[in-house]
A and B are shown apart, each in its own frame.
Chain A
């Protein structure tokens, strides 16, 4: 058997957290270094997988780096991991964010041991979601992520942290309860839990209508994405979460929703997806426009970024249910790009708040003088978010729009795409307005001695910028891979 790359990637953070847990009274610095080492090792391995990934045309539709062990024979469940073009970018995204989340948390003073244990736990469970090829295993990792997130928000958060954490848990649990019902009904219709076997499911006598299974799964993913009108947990959870949790939440956790939609909803039920695509595209456009409009009205810096996620994940939904090859590629790229851009935005908000202890836009202002590095990086992140050419945001949104506009399978998609593009105008509005209110205007007396980013923070935010630029200038580095994952889905839809 080959080296189990994926298990190692998923479980390295777990090893890290066990090491931390077993150290008796460790120094804060030791804890942070150990977390960093294990997060880096996981990242390095995922890059290795990325390099070793076979990109030749002959492997389209094949899942690589598979590991398969019998797990619960009674229900035919396997410990089955693997990546394809769809999941690989998201695995890299998570390991990358895992490293940066540790760096972002370098200043955590409150109960650091537990904090880093939960952070590594969170990383492992999200990686597990992206690597699982068995529905029960997928569900297990999906639920596992709740526990660390609950603790991260309710202990290290701010504001109404306990309320927000509980709201997050209940929302997600309702979604995953539906998902479980969907998974069970798929299992009893087919007797299989393997995502690969289930692709393009056709059965003569389904247990419940295929459309019902599709929607049971979809609700779980739509809550996570989040799709209008199921998004209301997101602003609360984001606003009250500690910075690193926000980074991971916006960066990788929301992507579980989009990934699930493509991997399960669209791949298993292509015909149903095609049938209901117009409805979902409309909801996508509502998410884009409504999200952007609400964002414009926010006074709290962190809440503003949180709402912008609703709008940006709307593009992902549009790309997915436009159901063309280009649009699906765009949606996946948008997930990656939004992950790093919004991750960076949250990191920046965290920095600004750390230094000024202020998040209210009306009370901030004139910070450009004191924090030259932060203002530049924040602006880059903001411009990437509104899709400036040369950044990953442009590449992803452009491909998504081109793909959805040219899609032939969904009726009226052109009109919707045009409406969706309007969202970018709103994005430009709130991003530029926000930058202006935070950084420009007359310098304020109370912020006279506010410091700029320190070295650890610079390493962290410059890595984000590098990633944004890399994908922006050479998107093919990812689209070449994503294409391999999307093509088989398009074949299913076409047939």
Chain B
């Protein structure tokens, strides 16, 4: 290791620095808006460092602990964008915990650092440490409201997260015991050169793989590890819910993709098996998410189940990666494009919910009645995002679905795509129900819905990208394609 390699960590280090500055400045400044400004500045600086590294050939640093490749940079930028939007959208929310604003912003930044390390980690130990760093900050953030629901949510998240970490660690231990290595590339080399082919001949590897999938499954909230989602999403401060549903999930998919593709991506007897595992889980996850979402009356819970369903669609991409033959990267690029589209869409939806719920002091869908009259722009933005979640044109959701499903069809997963499109039809029902109550009913109370400029900017940004990705996707598709090219270097 050389000190020079530290320059590859400038995005994380600068962000961490800003997080510490935020905590310090918090002690001396009365005007807490400064803290938000500082956090945004930190994110911009960090993003600048990340962008400047884009396109460099993939490199492994710190004795193959971390990877520097477009794949990691893509996710770092996505995470930074999500964190930035969350901070902007929190402006209307932080009044609920006046005293702890400094900690709030700092924790958001630190969890972002953790996730940025996570997406770049190329070694089982580094992955575990990064995962805990992001996880612990998120546990605290979930309990930030300090009321009954929020505390319960935080405790649930902590306990289940701890169990998941333990499972993950056990899986890592088994894989390490089997291969004698922790770095992903070394594992890959070992597995490729293994004498006895066939998964059933190697039960330890099989068990390790399943436990890894289970541990990460918690992070991406796939079936059967989705139980924590509705309670945590409902109890957590809404900006943090949005953060969990987008950033945490994106980081989870990144690490799953890296571990399974880079370490266990070949030979075929291995990849076809985990591909099929993800395909089956994907089908169950999206069906469970969609069917249960229909029954929800609380919009945060509904969006929680909807994010489970969306994780199911994303796993179609994972399954495609597993089933793909040769150098076909359509599964990865489809997954990345879907994540981009999902991130802007879901953030947009949550930001609109933050603004509306802040005014009406309720998360019940029925209380959104007539919002089209009280807050036409917010309602329009929320409707646009929900339409994108269904996957209707002219939004990002449609192109993302076509992209990810087409990759799956190409790799022989037609059955899964049929289940997925049927699920999309089911999902139209509950998404449109929200749209319907907003535009058709009479308002329950009068009065406009106020929102800060920061929130409006964040929302406008999301809506703009929902439309851009939906109408002129070519540029974004090429970004997604560039981001997979060096994966698993």
Contact = CB atoms under 8 A, between A and B. Distances in A.
A72 B436 contact: no
B387 interface: yes
A178 B402 CA distance: 13
A74 B417 contact: no
B409 interface: yes
Contact of B439 (A74, A144, A151): A151
25 contacts: A72-B399, A72-B477, A74-B478, A141-B393, A143-B392, A143-B393, A144-B393, A147-B387, A147-B392, A150-B432, A151-B439, A154-B436, A162-B440, A166-B436, A169-B428, A170-B428, A173-B424, A177-B422, A178-B421, A181-B409, A184-B402, A184-B405, A185-B414, A188-B409, A207-B409
Contacts of A208: 414
A55 B157 CA distance: 70
Q: Which 7 A-B pairs have the closest CB atoms?
A: A177-B421, A173-B425, A140-B393, A74-B477, A144-B393, A184-B409, A143-B393
A418 interface: no
Most buried by A among B403, B422, B436: B436
A422 interface: no
B481 A180 contact: no
B298 interface: no
A180 B406 CA distance: 9
Contact of A184 (B406, B422, B477): B406
A146 B392 contact: yes
A136 B481 CA distance: 20
A170 B439 contact: no
Contacts of B432: 150, 166, 169
Contacts of A173: 424-425, 428
A128 to B, nearest CB: 10
Given A144-B392, A155-B439, A181-B409, A136 B425 contact: no
Contacts of A141: 393
Given A74-B477, A75-B403, A154 B392 contact: no
Contacts, number: 82
Interface string A342-382: 00000000000000000000000000000000000000000
Contacts of B394: 140, 144
Contacts of A140: 393-394, 398
A74 B481 contact: yes
A75 B399 CA distance: 11
Given A144-B392, A173-B425, A180-B421, A154 B440 contact: yes
B417 A181 contact: yes
Per DSSP, are chain B's interface residues mostly helix, strand or loop, or mixed?
Answer: helix
Contacts of A174: 422, 425
A405 to B, nearest CB: 39
Nearest to A21: B380
B406 A75 contact: yes
A209 interface: no
Contact of A71 (B398, B406, B474): B474
A72 B473 contact: yes
Interface string B447-475: 00000000000000000000000001110
A155 B383 CA distance: 15
Interface string A55-88: 0000000000000001111110000000000000
Contacts of A215: none
Contacts of A154: 436, 439-440
Contact of A143 (B398, B422, B472): B398
B410 interface: yes
Contacts of A188: 406, 409-410
A136 B398 CA distance: 11
Given A72-B477, A144-B393, A181-B409, A136 B402 contact: yes
A141 B392 CA distance: 10
Contacts of B403: 74-75
B1 to A, nearest CB: 39
Interface in B401-439: 402-403, 405-406, 409-410, 414, 417-418, 421-422, 424-425, 428-429, 432, 436, 439
Nearest to A175: B425
Please classify how large the interface on chain A is, using the bins under 10, 10 to 19, 20 to 34, 35 or more: 35 or more
Contacts of B478: 74
A50 interface: no
Contact of A170 (B393, B398, B429, B481): B429
Contacts of B428: 169-170, 173
A74 B474 contact: yes
A266 B145 CA distance: 61
Contacts of A185: 409, 414
Contacts of A178: 421
A55 to B, nearest CB: 34
B216 to A, nearest CB: 28
Interface string A389-407: 0000000000000000000
A72 B405 contact: no
A155 to B, nearest CB: 5
A70 B392 CA distance: 22
B406 A187 contact: yes
Contacts of B424: 173, 177
A356 B80 CA distance: 61
A185 B410 CA distance: 8
Given A165-B436, A181-B414, 4 more contacts: A72-B477, A73-B477, A170-B428, A185-B414
Given A166-B429, A181-B414, A155 B473 contact: no
A429 B198 CA distance: 72
A187 B398 CA distance: 17
B320 to A, nearest CB: 13
A207 B440 CA distance: 45
Interface string A143-172: 110110011001100000010011001100
Nearest to B437: A162
Nearest to A177: B421
Contacts of A151: 439
